[in-house]
């Protein structure tokens, strides 16, 4: 996954900047989309099929439901008359599309997505049926461009006769769908590989070519690795490389097998679907457009720019109270006390400089996030903390800042660009970089209102998204800005004195606690040797601080040697951070105990299709809000007892490292980051719980699920 993320960063300049410049609009010649219906007319209670047709420019491609190493599948949001129900997309069999070192799954040339539709029992013959759809997709060559199309169709009400003009289109589309499984499949794990044995006794080795398996799960296999095929007297065998060899081996691997069958008359391409088909649901309203949705936090689809900006502003305000941000803000307030004798105009400039630092950081982060998503990356808020190098770098920066607060080293002069040295500078640049640092340490946090706003922003144009992120930054900057703009508040602060040095040293300990937490996060992301390298990096930071401090009062020659030693140590720290061994397998696999199962989309689909109640917890090691919620609300005896009594399956998704399936579920519910809590209590859409939980909130939601005894009685 890290390789995939790094490659997307390399593609950024080539593919994403043009997309942003065009306002995320696709050139019209890349994809031509249309919506057609199989019958020429519809009647009540008679299901029919729609086709979303995408004709792709030669050399470009769109994606399957599992896009592989990069990309996003097409999504359709339906606007249907009351009583109509659009079913799941039926996906044609994909092909493997190599892009540099990555392997994508998708379609070139033309693809037709079939969608079954069921009308209500009766229709008014005088009122034509108007169907509208919003198609969104990502189309890629070596660069990627997001696109969308507004599709519409009007059908008369009458006898559902077929339309002969498009019969061939639907025949080709159905022929491209995978057929039911032909041969029994047995899955086994062999170390870092999976072996798929298809019981096709009597199959000739020369009769099969180019066999490939496409799992529905996006993180099950190493997509770019070769799939080794063999045929013997017992059947067809495929060996696939696992993406995370130390994760528990999957018990099942639903997906699609494709192969070329060679006969005397030539060859033909075949595809077979294996396992329960957990089709991705179409995005849009359920059976009736007028049916009320479950109570939840505001849905991204229901937000406007004004409400999203307001939610972002409130979320930014609350971020100031988060434990990762508060020490940084406190340090700058101490700086204001130190400068209390300056003129009000000068203090206002400090406030504006801090605000500029916050806004510049949020807008820069937003631009990178938008660009990477436009390039096909499955990422969201806090995505940079999914990189061990970023986590380690932030830990080193805060550790140096803590050493400075403790008085172990006085960072100034040419080294004032480091962490607290910048944050505590006397000039306006100190205030600006305090804003930058506050933004950096705020990224692990998701405040109330913030998730919906950021989720909305990342589905809109670049201009709208940047406006929402600017509102978020303004909310974070406002308390400090208000303090500098309102002189009576400054006069209420205590006079400078010796207490400031004591308080400054005391503030080092929350910073050290943050460093310890970041190292713990890193331990979830890297192998033990990577964790050792990160800890050595902390030792090198300490050595650099010591060498620098020793050189301050030494003779010129000795001072120069000390400075060189400090610089070499910092270079070594940077090298360690950039070369950390990547991707510890399954941080969640080791932690998911006590009745909690690791989340996969296939497992969720199986449970929901079986009518089982499910609680989904999307979390990450670096998410402070998630940790607080789990401790205070999800791990209590009362909540666990309620889940057990009601037969609720608890699925936990860990987003500490990149996981496209989790990203997809977050985006479906209008979120760009964790936490996300879903309760599937029955048929239909899940209940979305607030981002800040209490035990009472969770118990109240679980009360909508009947107990296991009642559920059994209902099924008798």
User: How confident is the model at residue 165, as a pLDDT?
Assistant: 79
- Indicate whether 513 pLDDT > 60: yes
Residue 455 in tokens: 């989720």
- Give me 467's structure tokens: 């406006």
- Please answer whether residues 132 and 152 qualify as being in contact, where contact means their C-beta atoms are separated by less than 8 angstroms: yes
- Residues 691-697 have a mean pLDDT of 86
Answer for the pair 120, 84: CB distance below 8 angstroms, yes or no: yes
For the segment 542-551, the average pLDDT, to the nearest whole number, is 82
Alpha helices in 262-387 (DSSP H): 305-319, 326-338, 344-374
Give the per-residue pLDDT at 301. 42
Q: Which pLDDT does position 299 carry in this prediction? A: 41
What local confidence, expressed as pLDDT, does residue 256 receive? 95
Higher pLDDT, 464 or 445: 464
Tell me the pairing of strands 266-274 and 614-619. Answer: unpaired
Q: Mean per-residue pLDDT for 20-41?
A: 74
Contacts of 162 (CB under 8 A, 6+ apart): 38, 39, 40
What pLDDT is recorded for position 65?
Answer: 92
Give pLDDT, residue 445. 60
Q: Residue 713 has what pLDDT?
A: 39
E strands within 419-535?
Answer: none
The architecture of the domain spanning 595-715 is 3-Layer(aba) Sandwich (3.40)
- Distance CA(387)–CA(397), nearest Å, equals 16
Q: What's the average model confidence in pLDDT over 540-565?
A: 79
Q: Is residue 52 classed as helix, strand or coil in its secondary structure?
A: strand
| Strand residue runs (E) in 192-265 | 193-198, 208-215, 228-232, 235-241, 255-263
Give the pLDDT score at 524.
79
- How large is the average pLDDT for residues 261-270? 86
β partners of residue 152: 132
**Where are the domains positioned within the chain?**
25-168, 185-274, 302-391+411-504, 595-715
For the stretch 133-178, pLDDT in tens is: 999 998 988 788 888 899 999 999 988 887 887 899 999 999 999 9
Residue with tokens 């937003």: 366
Q: Percent of the chain beyond pLDDT 70?
A: 76
Residue 367 has pLDDT above 90, yes or no: no
What's the pLDDT tens digit per position in 434-450?
778 777 766 656 555 66
Q: Which residues pair with 76 in a beta bridge?
A: 135
For the ranges 42-56, 224-238, 294-308, the lowest mean pLDDT is seen at 294-308
- Paired tokens of 663: 């990203």
pLDDT at 380: 58
Q: What Cα–Cα distance (Å) separates residue 264 from each residue in 206, 417, 654?
A: 11, 73, 51
DSSP 216-228: SSTTSB-TTS--E
| Residue (of 100, 111, 3, 2) closest to 61 by Cα position | 111
Q: What is the pLDDT of residue 589?
A: 39
The whole-number pLDDT of residue 459 equals 61
pLDDT recorded at residue 122: 86
The answer to whether 25-168 and 595-715 have equal CATH topology is no
User: Residues of 452-482 as b/e, b for ≥16 C-beta within 10 angstroms?
Assistant: bbbbbbbbbebebbbbbbbbbbbbbbbebbe
Q: How far apart are CA 469 and CA 455, in angstroms?
A: 11
Please enumerate in sequence order all residues whose Cβ is within 8 A of that of 307, keeping only pairs 6 or more positions apart, or say none.
298
Strands 687-688 and 235-241: unpaired
Please tell me which residue, 316 or 95, carries the higher pLDDT value. 95
| Mean per-residue pLDDT of the chain | 77
Q: Phi, psi at residue 517, to the nearest 5°?
A: -65, -40
Q: State pLDDT tens for residues 619-677.
A: 887 777 788 888 888 988 899 999 988 889 999 988 887 777 888 888 788 776 788 99
Q: How many residues make up the chain in this entry?
A: 716
Residues 512/408, Cβ–Cβ less than 8 Å: no
- Residue-level pLDDT at 282: 39
Assess whether pLDDT exceeds 90 at residue 292. Answer: no
Residue 539 structure tokens? 């030792």
Q: What is the rounded CA–CA span in Å between residue 189 and residue 186?
A: 10
139 alpha carbon, distance to own chain's centre = 20
The residue-averaged pLDDT of 106-134 equals: 92
State pLDDT tens for residues 294-318.
334 444 444 577 887 888 888 778 7
Cα–Cα distance between 189 and 206 in angstroms, integer?
Answer: 27
The three-state secondary structure class of 198 is strand
> Are the beta carbons of 275 and 213 closer than 8 angstroms?
no
Contacts for 206 with CB less than 8 Å, ≥ 6 apart: 262
CATH fold group of domain 25-168: Immunoglobulin-like (2.60.40)
Q: pLDDT band at 96, cuts 50/70/90?
A: very high
The pLDDT value recorded for residue 437 is: 75
CB 186 within 8 A of CB 275: no
Section 96-113 average pLDDT: 92
Q: Write down the residue that tokens 């769908």 correspond to.
A: 177
Q: Is 570 helix (H, G, I), strand (E, B) or coil?
A: helix
Contact 142, 15 (CB under 8 A): yes
Tens-place pLDDT, residues 314-354: 877 877 776 666 666 666 666 666 665 667 787 788 888 88
Smallest CA-to-CA distance from 657 within 397, 390, 436, 418 is with 390
User: In the prediction, which pLDDT does 333 show?
Assistant: 65
Between 658 and 598, where is the model more confident?
Answer: 598
User: Quick one: tokens of 106?
Assistant: 């998708």
Mean pLDDT of 681-699: 84
Would you say residue 424 has pLDDT above 60? no
Kindly tell me if the per-residue pLDDT of 617 is higher than 90.
yes
């Amino acid at each position: 996954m890290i390789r995939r993320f790094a490659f997307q960063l390399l593609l950024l300049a080539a593919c994403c900047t043009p997309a942003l410049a065009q306002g995320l609009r696709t050139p019209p010649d890349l994809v031509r989309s249309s919506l057609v219906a199989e019958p020429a007319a519809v009647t009540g209670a008679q299901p029919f099929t729609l086709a979303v047709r995408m004709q792709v420019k030669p050399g470009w491609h769109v994606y399957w439901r599992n896009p592989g190493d990069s990309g996003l599948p097409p999504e359709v949001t339906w606007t249907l008359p009351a009583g109509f129900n659009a079913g799941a997309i039926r996906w044609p069999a994909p092909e493997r599309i190599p892009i540099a070192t990555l392997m994508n799954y998708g379609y070139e040339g033309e693809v037709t997505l079939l969608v079954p539709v069921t009308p209500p029992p009766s229709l008014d013959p005088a009122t034509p049926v108007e169907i509208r759809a919003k198609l969104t997709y990502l189309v890629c060559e070596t660069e990627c461009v997001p696109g969308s199309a507004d599709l519409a169709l009007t059908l008369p009400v009458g006898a559902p006769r077929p339309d002969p003009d498009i019969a061939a289109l639907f025949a080709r589309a159905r022929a491209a769908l995978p057929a039911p499984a032909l041969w029994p499949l047995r899955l086994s794990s062999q170390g870092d590989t999976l072996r798929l044995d298809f019981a096709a006794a009597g199959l000739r080795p020369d009769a099969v070519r180019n066999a490939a398996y496409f799992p529905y799960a996006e993180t099950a296999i190493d997509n770019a690795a070769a799939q080794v095929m063999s045929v013997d007297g017992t059947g067809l065998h495929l060996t696939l490389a696992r993406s995370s060899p130390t994760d528990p081996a999957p018990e099942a691997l639903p997906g699609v097998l494709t192969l070329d069958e060679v006969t005397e008359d030539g060859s033909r391409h075949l595809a077979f679907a294996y396992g329960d088909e957990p089709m991705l649901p179409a995005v849009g309203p359920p059976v009736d457009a007028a049916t009320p949705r479950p109570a939840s936090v505001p849905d991204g689809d229901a937000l406007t720019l004004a409400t999203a900006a307001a939610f972002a502003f409130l979320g930014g305000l609350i971020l100031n109270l988060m434990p990762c941000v508060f020490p940084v803000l406190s340090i700058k307030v101490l700086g204001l006390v130190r400068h209390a004798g300056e003129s009000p105009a000068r203090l206002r400039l400090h406030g504006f400089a801090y605000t500029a630092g916050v806004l510049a950081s949020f807008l820069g982060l937003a631009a990178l996030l938008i660009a990477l998503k436009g390039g096909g990356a499955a990422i969201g808020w806090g995505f940079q903390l999914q990189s061990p190098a970023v986590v380690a770098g932030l830990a080193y920066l805060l550790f140096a800042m803590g050493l400075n607060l403790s008085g172990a080293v006085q960072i100034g002069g040419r080294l004032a660009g480091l962490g607290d040295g910048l944050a505590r500078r006397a000039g306006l640049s100190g205030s600006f970089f305090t804003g930058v640092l506050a933004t950096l340490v705020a990224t692990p946090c998701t405040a109330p209102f913030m998730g919906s706003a950021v989720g909305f922003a990342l589905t809109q144009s670049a201009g709208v998204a940047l406006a929402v992120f600017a509102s978020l930054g303004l909310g974070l900057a406002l308390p400090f800005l208000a303090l500098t703009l309102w002189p009576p508040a400054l006069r209420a602060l205590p006079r400078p004195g010796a207490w400031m040095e004591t308080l400054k040293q005391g503030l080092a300990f929350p910073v050290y606690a943050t460093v310890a937490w970041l190292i713990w996060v890193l331990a979830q992301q890297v192998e033990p040797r990577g964790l050792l390298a990160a800890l050595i990096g902390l030792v090198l930071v300490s050595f650099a601080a010591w060498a620098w401090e020793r050189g301050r009062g030494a003779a010129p020659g000795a001072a120069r040697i000390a400075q060189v030693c400090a610089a070499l140590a910092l270079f070594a720290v940077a090298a360690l951070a950039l070369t950390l061994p990547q991707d510890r397998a399954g941080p969640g696999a080791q932690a998911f105990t006590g009745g909690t199962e690791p989340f996969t989309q296939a497992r969720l689909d199986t449970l929901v299709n079986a009518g089982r109640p499910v609680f989904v917890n999307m979390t990450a090691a670096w998410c402070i809000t998630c940790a607080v919620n789990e401790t205070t609300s999800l791990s209590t005896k009362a909540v666990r007892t309620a889940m057990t009594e009601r037969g609720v399956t608890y699925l936990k998704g860990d987003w500490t490292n990149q996981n496209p399936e989790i990203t997809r579920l977050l985006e479906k519910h209008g979120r760009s980051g964790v936490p996300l809590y879903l309760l599937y209590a029955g048929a239909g859409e899940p209940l979305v719980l607030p981002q800040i939980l209490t035990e009472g909130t969770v118990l109240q939601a679980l009360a909508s699920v009947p107990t296991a005894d009642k559920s059994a009685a209902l099924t008798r």
